[in-house]
Structure formats: C-alpha cells, structure tokens
Chains A and B, each alone.
Chain A
Amino acid sequence: MIPEIGQFALVLAFVITLVQGTLPVIGAARNDAAWMAVARPAALMQLFFVAAAFLALTWSFVVSDFSVLTVAENSSIARPLLYKITGVWGNHEGSMMLWVLILAVYGGAVAIFGGHLPAALRARVLSVQAWIATGFLLFILVASNPFVRIFPAPLNGNGLNPLLQDPGLATHPPALYMGYVGFSMAFSFAIAALIEGRVDPAWARWVRPWVLVAWCFLTLGIALGSHWSYYVLGWGGWWFWDPVENASFMPWLAGTALLHSAIVVERREALKSWTILLAILTFSLSLIGTFLVRSGVLTSVHAFAVDPKQGTFILVLLVIAIGGSLGLYALRAPSLKLGGLFAPISREGSLVLNNLLLVTACGTILLGTLYPLLLASVTGQMVSVGPPYFDAVFVPIMVPLIALMAVGPMLAWKRGDLAGALARLKAAFAAAALIALVTWHYLTNGSWLSVLGMALAAWLIVGSLVELVERLRLFRGSLRQSWARARHLPRSVYGMVVAHAGLGVVVLGIAAALTWHSAVLRDMRPGQSAKVGPYEFTLRGVQEVPGPNYTARQGVFIVTKDGRYVTTMKPEVRHYSIPPMSVSRVALRPSLVADLYAAIGSPDGSGGYAVRLYRKPLISWIWLGALIMVLGGGLSLSDRRLRIGAPARKSAAYPAPSAIAKGA
C-alpha cells in the first residue's frame, strides 16, 4: 500500500511540475499577476508530493518490504536501522529520488523565502526550476521507478555494498546533492534573466545567497567524500582523481568562479553575460556529472550499476537542458548591456584572472576525465588518463591562483595599486619565506613542491589576515577605532577572509601530508611492536568480533610514545555474508598534529598478520580547512545585505523582453 502511495505522489508531483512550468512563465510574459501567483503554491505542492514519495520509499526500506524491487536488491533484514535509511540513496533509483527531493526543497525555499523578489522574476525562476523537475521526474517514472514490485517477494534482500555501510556515506551524498542540485537555482535565475533580457546588480544580489548555499554544501560534500575514501577505502589516500570525484569537483570550480564573478556584477555591473554563462555551465557540469556516474560510460569505483536505456534517457535530458539553455544564451546574451570599464590591475581585473584560472582548471579536469571517451568516439583509439596527468596540469594552475588570492582583495575597484598591495603584504612574504626555509630544513622525502606548497599556504593564510588587519586599521589607530570598524565591517568581508584562509589551511594539509608521512608495512605477531615515527605500536592481540550483519577480525594495538600510553587502536576486517565481501575498516586517531592510522590484513598462516601503520602529520588540516571554508561561506551568507537587502531595481518599470532584444 505505502509504495503505491509513493508512486501516486510521484505522478502527482510530475503533473504539478507541468503546471508550474507553464502558467507562471506565460503569466510573466503577459504580465498576468494571477497566473504568476500559481508558482508559489505549485512549488510547495511539488515539494509536498515529492517528499511524500521519498518518505514512502524510506518506509519501504525501514520495514524491509522486499516486494519492492529496489529494497530487495539493495537492503537486507539484519542491517542496522541507520543503514537501512541511508541505503535509500545508496542505489541508483533512491539517489535519483534524493536528487528530485532536494530540487523540490530548493524550489520550495524560493517560494517561502523569495518574497522580496519581483513577482515576474520569481514566477520565471520557479517555472525554470519546474522544467528541470519535469525532466527528472519523467526519468524516474519511465526509466528508474523505485516503486516497482516483484512477485513473489524474496525472504531477504541482496544487501548494500558493504563499502557503503558507513556513517560517512550517510552524510556525504546528501551534502553533495545539496550542492550539486543547489546550483540549479543559479541556473534558474540565469535562464529567467535571459528570458527577461535583464541582468543588473539587484539580480546578482538575489542570486548570491543561492550560489553561496550550494557552494557551502558542495564544499562540505566533497570534503566528507574525500574523508570517507581516506578511512574506508583503506590505503591512506584521500583524493584519487576518480571520474566521480572529478564530477563533483568540476561544478565546485565553476561554482567558485561564479561566486566571484557575481560580485563584479553586483558591484560594478560588468561581466554580466559571463556570469550568466558560468551559472549555466556550473549546473550543466552537475548534470554531466550525474550522467557520468549513472551511464556507465566511464569506469569508477563509485559507479552505480545501470542499464543503457537510463544512460540514453539522461543524455537526451542533458541535450535538451544544456543545449537549450546555451542556445537561449547565444540568442539573448548579446543584448545584455555592457557594464563599467576597469583597468587590468584592479579588483575586477583580479577577479577576471581568478575566473580564467578556475575555469581553465575546470576545463583541464573535464578534458582529462572525458579524453578517453572523446578519443575513442572520434578515432576508436583507447587510452586512459590517470593521476599523473591531473597532478601535472592542476598544480601549475593552482599556484598562480593561490598567489593571486592574497593580492586581489587588496586592490581597489576600477584601478588598483599593485605595488602598494604587495608592500602591504610584507608580512605574508616574510611568513612564506620563513615557512619555506623551515620546510626545506625538515624535508625528508618530499620535493620542491612541498616547499612551494607550504610557502603558498603561509602566504595565503597570513595574506588573508593582513587583509583583515588593513580593513580594521589595527595597529594604526586606537583599539577603540578598530573595534568600531570591526563591528561595522560587512560579514561578507569576514566570510571572504575566513574562506581564503581556510583554503590556505587545506593547502598546508596537502603539502604536509605529501611531505612527512611515515609508514610501516609488515607482518606482526601478537606481542610484537613496530615504530612509526616517534610512536610505538604494539599488537596486543587479534580477536573475532561479531557485528550486526558481519563478523570482524579485529586487531588491538596499544600505541605509546616515549613509553607513555597514547591510545588503543582497533582496526578490523569485516566479513559480510550478504553480499559476500570483506571490507577493511582502518582505525584512525585524528589529531591536529598528526593522524595515526592502522589497518590489519590477512593472517600469514604462522600466527602473524599483515599490518599497515601510518603517521600522517597535519593531514586532518585538509578537512579542517574545508570546514573553515564552509564557515566562511556561512558568514558571507549571514551578511546583512543578503538578509534585508531587497534593493530596488534602477527603473521600476519592466521593459518587455522583445523591446530589449530589438533595442540592442
């Protein structure tokens, strides 16, 4: 009964998106307030029915209703409740449901919080949002229906891939999707602006919070995903340039560029058509990522099992959505008015350079990810592209970008003073040089890249703080004056400083992890010890431990440093029966100074076990830095001008779109 209710709710949501996608946008064109007003209740109804369908599916997983095919294929009775729930999106059908649910949540959020938007813009935005929902709901109903029943129902399900039975998985896809799908808002605003034929500072200010929300979630999602692969995949790496990782990283790079170019539109009315293009591209990359993960065209550890029909369906959706929006862009963007002029060395100039570098980085990753596919389709020749390519192309682009990040905010709008900005960054220069020397001195197995990375990190962190000090006029006036400035400084400035410094922390973590890790890989018998850096690992014993739906072989390590007890670590190998698979669970003791990492392998037949022990200094700074970046985004989001800032447009009257197109 419950799955059928879900099915009906999905169909109803689909019908609602048809209404929401037509009436409001027609109403906006005809300036008909009643038709435009359909958008808000429709978006809320859509949210209600999609949520009902999602709950129905979740319910089927929770009660283990194996007459539902998706549940039978992806769940089992003995699974802990948490993983029954997270199992909802651990498969193709359920993850598509999560996708449309989040899309509907964003639509509903515009309906609720978009009160300050002009009615016509809101109507158009919600209509465009509904077009996307129409496509994906149709895809779910036709090609990947999660509510398909089977008869007779099996007694138990096939179970979830045990790699995915982990708290990290519970959080990382929803965060990632909040980011991915969140960029649909920027897309809808861009398309609405193109239909309207008008992009102005007010538009940039309205779209900014949505871009910020999506960016924060995507940053969080990528960080969680990377941390998940760090401790679940079990060999201590944290980024593999896997196609699926790239699929989430490309929208992040494009979205970061969008975040910055929207500032230029807001402040200086320049880069309008570029910003629109970025908004379209960012969401397009999210869609392409969805396609890559689900179509089976690329090999990946994360890939879902899919049939070609689904791949074809998503490709057609992609062509309609991306091709249509880029076509609209080609027709309408030339008529957007050009904005303010600026000198190459200026805040705008530095933001343009930032955009160029980010988009180039994004392009090289896209090329690397798709190159095997492109070459194969054109010439039939097959190649593979691996981490060496990505490392080789990505680092040279990131170096100038990070160097620029400290300088850009120092430059004035329109025309900046580069020499003055560099002079003010003396402290950052000094910090970078100092760190470079210290790194050089302690360099054991790293390369000059480690020195460069550490220097850049210091440059960026100190440079960001210098920016704050400059704004507050610290050390130059009385503390009281600085305090007054601190209170009146917009939150977005704090947000920028924190986010930039956060990236510096990430770079620091990466450079340190590359440089100073120590590893021991050997066989150990109970009672034996191994020295990893200053730590002594003693294998106390190995025991069999039963879990809810697995049995584990657990090693118990006592870790000491200079004879003093530090911690006990219990790495496991879990043997699952449904499906039959062994999964290594490393034991991790994270700390700001150094992560300790222990993994246990197979017995060697004579009482010993293969173990891997690592000490990875500062590696957790990678994820700490990412969290700091999210915090920065959140600070910026809480800026007063985004909360209250419902700026009036320059002219109250809306020109008809056709008039603009003709007039340009």
Chain B
Amino acid sequence: MRAAFYIPLAAFLGLAAALGIGLTMNMRLLPSALIGRSVPTFNLPPVPGVRPALSSANLKAGKVVLVNIFASWCVSCREEHPILMALAKSHVVPIYGIAYKDTPKATATYLANNGDPYQRIGEDETGRVGINWGVYGVPETYVVTKTGKIAYKVVGPISAAILTQKVLPLVRKLEAEP
C-alpha cells in the first residue's frame, strides 16, 4: 500500500527524464508520423487561372519535390515567403503548395501580392487533406521522394539555415537515388 504513494514521484521522474532528452533535441524539425510512408491519397482542386491542381499522383511522378502547406491568413507564411520565392527562382527543386483552410480567391490574391513560388497548388478549403498530412500548424514544408514517400518535415516558417543545412542536402541525396 505504501508503495502506491511513490507512483507520482516515479511518474514525474520519468517525465523529467523525457523533458531532459527533449531539451537536447531541436523540436522545430518535428517530422511527422508519416515519415517514410507514402503521401496520403488526395485530389485537390486548383486555384482557377493561377496554377494546375495538385493530387497525390503528381507526387509520384519520379521527381523530388517540396510540398509547402500555406494559407493567406497565416502570418508566418509571409515570413517564409521570400525564401520560397528565392528557391523557386533557383530551380533546384519544384515547390508544390497546399492552401490550407483557404479559398481560391484569397489564395490568388495572396499570390498576386507576394509572388507565386509554386508549380502546382491544391486548394484544401475544408482542411481535410491537411489533417491527413498531419498538419500541426501552418506553414509546414515536406520533402517528398521520387516515389511519393515523405522524407522530411519542417514545422513553422522555413529559415535559410534549415533550407541550406537540412532540406537542400536531403533533396540532393534523394535526387541521386534511383
């Protein structure tokens, strides 16, 4: 019976150990449960007159691509937008966009104002597809392999450092793979 009074202490010490390990990790590079798995199956409508639509088939076309989840209402997306624009100009890797919980009009306006780095855009008005991707907060950026597997995930605005140190080396490595 007395031993039961030690349960809270034991539980807390376990928690503290996990927090300690957590401190040593960089949780901003939080990959998703889907890492190593195929992208979820989806078929999203386009933003009319802007870019072609996006479906899971486009992600299995033998190219390494970045999938960027964004929204016109999201402040952090504006922060990362110049970096995406620069990346798009460099033609290193195609960027596909999923406009999360947004409307075609708002997306089109947003891109007209801030520039459009995407080759394809899927309009996810309900956010259903975003949930299947395991979206935690917008923006998020996924690296997808030639065969349509999720290789990496960045939560929050992508920074130049993450891009050059993590994402681009991975893209080059995946490109080299058959």
Contact = CB atoms under 8 A, between A and B. Distances in A.
Partners in one complex: yes
Interface stretch (B47-55, B103-111, B168-176): B103-111
A334 B1 contact: yes
A373 B19 contact: yes
B16 A318 contact: yes
Interface in A14-39: none
A80 interface: no
Given A312-B23, A601-B72, A277 B136 contact: no
B18 interface: yes
Contacts of B105: 521-523, 610
Contact of B23 (A277, A295, A601): A295
Nearest to B71: A235
Interface stretch (B24-32, B38-46, B60-68, B85-93): B24-32
Interface stretch (A113-121, A382-390, A621-629): A382-390
Given A297-B19, A326-B12, A372-B27, A383 B109 contact: no
A53 B175 CA distance: 58
A449 interface: no
Given A334-B1, A603-B113, A373 B9 contact: no
B109 A601 contact: yes
A129 B134 CA distance: 43
A330 B23 contact: no
Q: How large is the interface on B (under 10, 10 to 19, 20 to 34, 35 or more residues)?
A: 35 or more
Contacts of A385: 136
Contact of A386 (B22, B109, B136): B136
Contacts of A377: 17-18, 21-22, 25
B20 to A, nearest CB: 6
Contact of A373 (B18, B35, B75, B112): B18
A547 interface: no
A467 to B, nearest CB: 34
Contact of A383 (B32, B78, B110): B32
A315 B20 contact: yes
Contacts of B156: 299
B23 A299 contact: no
A610 B111 CA distance: 12
Contact of B19 (A315, A388, A523, A612): A315
Contact of A523 (B8, B16, B109): B109
A373 B27 contact: yes
A139 to B, nearest CB: 15
B137 interface: yes
A319 B9 CA distance: 10
Interface string A369-398: 010111011100111111010000000000
A326 B9 contact: yes
Nearest to A295: B23
A281 interface: yes
Contact of B22 (A297, A319, A383, A605): A297
B113 A382 contact: no
A493 interface: no
A410 to B, nearest CB: 33
B157 to A, nearest CB: 11
Contacts, number: 141
A238 interface: no
Nearest to B11: A326
Interface string A276-305: 010011001000100100011111010000
B103 A521 contact: yes
Given A333-B5, A376-B25, A610-B72, A521 B106 contact: yes
B135 A329 contact: no
A583 to B, nearest CB: 7
Nearest to B155: A299
Contact of A308 (B5, B9, B23, B109): B23
Given A370-B18, A523-B105, A605-B112, A322 B5 contact: no
A604 interface: yes
| B contacts with A: majority SS | helix
B13 interface: yes
Given A386-B135, A603-B113, A323 B18 contact: no
A277 B7 CA distance: 11
Nearest to A374: B18
A384 B30 contact: yes
A605 B113 CA distance: 7
Contacts of B153: 382
B15 interface: yes
B113 A602 contact: yes
B131 interface: yes
Nearest to B19: A315
Contacts of B32: 382-384
A551 interface: no
Nearest to A519: B103
A340 to B, nearest CB: 19
Contact of A299 (B12, B21, B137): B137
A327 interface: yes
Contacts of A523: 105, 109
A582 interface: yes
A428 to B, nearest CB: 36
A327 B112 contact: no
A657 interface: no
Contacts of A291: 19
Nearest to A583: B75
Contacts of B17: 377
A138 B70 CA distance: 42
Contacts of B31: 382
Given A376-B22, A376-B25, A327 B9 contact: yes
A311 interface: yes
Interface of B: 1-2, 5-6, 8-9, 12-13, 15-23, 25, 27-28, 30-33, 35, 72-73, 75, 78, 103, 105-106, 108-110, 112-114, 131, 134-137, 153, 155-156
12 contacts: A295-B22, A298-B27, A329-B9, A334-B1, A334-B2, A376-B21, A376-B22, A382-B31, A384-B30, A521-B105, A602-B113, A604-B112
Given A521-B105, A605-B109, 9 more contacts: A163-B75, A295-B19, A323-B9, A323-B16, A377-B17, A383-B134, A388-B131, A581-B75, A610-B106
Interface of A: 163, 234-235, 273, 277, 280-281, 284, 288, 291, 295-299, 301, 308, 311-312, 315, 318-319, 322-323, 326-327, 329-330, 333-334, 370, 372-374, 376-378, 381-386, 388, 521-523, 581-584, 601-605, 610, 612
